[in-house]
């Protein structure tokens, strides 16, 4: 009986508080995802884009920041 009450209580709490406050992020906030285009730079007349390790935010989007490790660098045009 206690398990049923706990499950119902958690479900109600999740609906009342909302997804972010209740901590019900799916996929989990901070979990790794694919590499994401980040910043870029010019070198020798070519423009290169850095791709950095991505992670899921609480809204389920795969995002990154300049503090994340670089996955690869790709030539992306001229400058």
> Please, is 28 exposed, middle or buried when counting C-beta atoms within 10 Å of its C-beta (0-12, 13-18, 19+)?
exposed
pLDDT score of 34: 96
pLDDT greater at residue 4 or residue 69: 69
pLDDT score of 52: 97
pLDDT in tens, 16-52: 445 445 556 778 889 999 999 999 999 999 999 999 9
Residue of 37, 28, 25 whose CA lies nearest to 55: 28
Q: Is the peptide bond before 27 cis (omega within 30 degrees of 0)?
A: yes
pTM, two decimals, is 0.62
pLDDT score of 76: 95
Domain residue spans of the chain: 2-78
pLDDT at 9 over 60: no
């Amino acid at each position: 009986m206690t398990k049923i009450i706990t499950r119902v209580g958690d479900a109600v709490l999740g609906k009342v508080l909302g997804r972010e406050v209740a901590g019900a992020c799916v996929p989990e906030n901070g979990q790794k995802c694919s590499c994401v285009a980040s910043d870029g730079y010019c070198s020798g007349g070519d423009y290169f884009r850095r791709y950095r390790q991505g992670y899921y935010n609480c809204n389920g989007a795969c995002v990154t920041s300049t503090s994340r490790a670089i996955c690869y660098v790709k030539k992306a045009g001229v400058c």
